[in-house]
Amino acid sequence: MASSEEDGTVEEKENNNKKRTKSALVTAWLTFYNIAMTAGWLVLAITMMRFYIQRGTHKGLYRSIARTLKFFQTFALVEVRLTFVGIVKTSVIVNGVQVCSRIFMVWFVTNSIRQIQNEESVILFLVVWTVMEISRYSYYTFSLLHHLPYFIKWARYNFFIVLYPLGVAGELLTIYAALPFVRRSGMYSMRLPNKYNVSFDYYYCLIIVMLSYIPLFPQLYLHMLRQRRRVLHGEVIVEKDE
Amino acid sequence: MKRVEILDAKTKDKLCFLDKVEPNATIGEIKSMFHKSHPQWYPARQSIRLDPKGKSLKDEDVLQHLPVGTTATFYFRDLGAQISWVTVFLTEYTGPLVIYLMFYFRVPFIYASKYDFTTSKHWVVHLACMCHSFHYVKRLLETLFVHRFSHGTMPLRNIFKNCTYYWGFAAWMAYYINHPLYTPPIYGEQQIRLALIIFLFCQIGNFSIHIALRNLRPPGSKTRKIPYPTKNPFTWIFLLVSCPNYTYELGSWLGFTLMTQCLPVAFFTLVGFVQMTVWAKGKHRSYLKEFRDYPPLRSPILPFIL
């Protein structure tokens, strides 16, 4: 579910004059946003590749890109606001779940639990996220500029088929690796007795998060498959008519 | 005599054709006739409309008062399996009552076995149990004897959603309040006394509002009228608020939060408040739409604020 994919035909909804100028502004802003995000993830990708080529190992790779990753992934919260307001035509829930799970991974797992930062599973989901986000944001950018190369559309609606499950695997393995460290340190946890009369065990919380992938991941994956059929096969039919 | 045909709202297939329908027949009667030819769609799950995407017609609507010709065409949508409101309310309220008591009596497998069937040494815990139980017994009795429901049924899946909410939160709260390591309120007796006063005040208030609303509506009818303050001082809040039952409910739970000083209770109060505000705003909006002379001073749930 971290491989962030939603249907995103970015359209304006308003019709009259005042709204037309407003929507031109909105479109401009959206285009700028998508270009910036594409650039950000490209930078991440290039930094990661350079690190690996220069050092020959993935150890320390996460640390080197941590700040950039946190910045661009957190900035994606903006999209939730956009879907909620209706500027971007995507289900708020789908987009919301995606962004939440990403933020959770970045801030509450890899950022806080240092010991797992050099795990291979981290590299796995980082690579997946990077490829997915670059294809997604460039798709939005080119759509807004009304100049969409077919291969970008193809990439966006086909990469996920393999990358999505790989990304989920990377995330789950990472959380699983983190469990013993969480248990030992008792981080983010609160025990009785205390004056708020509540308790929280981050260890069990993580286990519940892992279990929640079971109902949620298939739904998001099927949603993307449906979108793919609609977008790609719809296109094919039109071509045949011509 | 009129003829009635019923089409599927999505596929436009002809589902039913009724010959010789009395012009003064109601939609409710037409639904019964439709049910005879399609026994799996009992009247409660039928949505009959004039337009496939339009609003559902009411059971009381009379055929000849509708904008139809000699052959009336209606569109049908299946609302899915239905369950009565009374059943849902009784189930969702009995759960918390029973569940809380299980935690209060420290039934085995909840806390460490050395605490099985023991009782808390803090008197506020006993008080909280009485208040919580009183609250849900009151709700159950109101469901049976006070409330007059506009709709008979709701979709079946609601019972699972609602019970998860009520039962889940009840268990979460009860676990901590009745825990052997429970910490009583910081300000002790003063805090508990104040909390109890607030709680009782709001319980009486909430009950008064329910009675007032009941008296607006004669038995068996579904009429809607503007509620006004009565001789009972607890109803004077109608001057400032459209849905004071929710206001009082919020107050009760704030009282209970103060009494128990338990974060899960605070959380439950917050979530309940959000949901009730949504409902209150909806109700307020439909009052404004339906009644031209609706008192302008009223707010949906919190006087002057919300």
CB contact under 8 A, B183 and A198: no
Whether A2 and A171 have beta carbons less than 8 Å apart is answered as yes
Q: Do B179 and A192 count as a contact with CB atoms less than 8 A apart?
A: yes
Tokens of A236: 């094919």
pLDDT in tens, B237-279: 999 999 999 999 999 999 999 999 999 999 999 999 999 999 9
In order, the DSSP letters of A19-39 are HHHHHHHHHHHHHHHHHHHHH
Smallest CA–CA distance, residue B168 to chain A, in Å, is: 15
Quote the minimal CA–CA distance from A14 to chain B in Å: 23
Q: Which of A209-213, B8-12, B69-73 is the most confident on average?
A: A209-213
Of the candidates B33, B60, B35, B53, the residue with the CA atom closest to the CA atom of residue B45: B35
CA-nearest of A30, A76, A75, A140 to A22 is: A30
- B181 CB within 8 Å of a chain A CB: yes
Q: What is the pLDDT of residue B12?
A: 87
pLDDT level of residue A94 (50, 70, 90 thresholds): confident
Are A80 and A96 within 8 A, CB to CB?
yes
pLDDT at A19: 66
Provide, as residue numbers in chain B, all residues whose Cβ is less than 8 Å from the Cβ of A199.
Answer: 176
Shortest distance, CA A200 to any CA of chain B (angstroms): 11
pLDDT-derived band at A179 (thresholds 50, 70, 90) equals very high
pLDDT tens readout for residues B182-226? 999 999 999 999 999 999 999 999 999 999 999 888 877 777 888
- Residues of chain B contacting residue A201, judged by C-beta atoms under 8 Å apart: none
Share the mean pLDDT of chain B. 91
Q: Do B176 and A193 touch (CB under 8 A)?
A: no
Residues whose CB is less than 8 angstroms from the CB of residue B212 and which lie 6 or more positions away in sequence, other chains included: B227, B230, B232, B235, B238
Whether B183 sits inside 8 A of A195 (CB atoms) is yes
Confidence of residue A8 (pLDDT cuts 50, 70, 90): very low
- Is residue B195 less than 8 Å (CB to CB) from chain A? no
Q: Best mutation site among A196, A197, A201, A208 for testing chain B: the one with the most B CBs within 10 Å?
A: A197
Averaged over B4-32, what is the pLDDT?
87
Distance from CA of A2 to the nearest CA of B (A): 27
Lowest-confidence range among A18-32, B49-63, B102-116, B238-252? A18-32
Could you tell me if B77 lies within 8 Å of chain A, comparing CB atoms? no
**pLDDT at position A92 over 50:** yes
B48 DSSP β-pair partners:
B76
pLDDT of A13 > 70? The answer is no
Single out the catalytic residue among A157, A164, A202, A203: A164
Mean pLDDT of A13-42: 80
Q: Is the pLDDT of residue A1 over 50?
A: no
Tell me the angle at which helices A202-228 and A150-185 cross, rounded to the nearest 10 degrees.
170
Confidence of residue A10 (pLDDT cuts 50, 70, 90): very low
Question: Model confidence over A105-144: pLDDT tens digits?
Answer: 999 999 999 899 999 999 999 999 999 999 999 999 998 8
Residue A82 has which token pair? 């956009």
Amino acid at A207: I
Residues of A in contact with B262 (CB under 8 A): 196-198
Could you read off the pLDDT of B134-193 as tens digits, one per residue? Answer: 999 999 999 999 988 877 888 998 899 999 999 999 999 999 999 999 999 999 999 999
User: Is A164 labeled as catalytic in the residue annotation?
Assistant: yes
Predicted confidence at residue A18, as pLDDT, reads: 64
Catalytic residue at A171?
Answer: yes
CB contact under 8 A, B261 and A197: yes
A177 pLDDT band, cuts 50/70/90, is very high
φ, ψ of residue B19 to 5 degrees: the values are: -90, 150
Q: Residues A163-169: what's their mean pLDDT?
A: 95
Tokens 């892992």 -> residue: A210
CB neighbours of residue A213 within 10 Å: 17
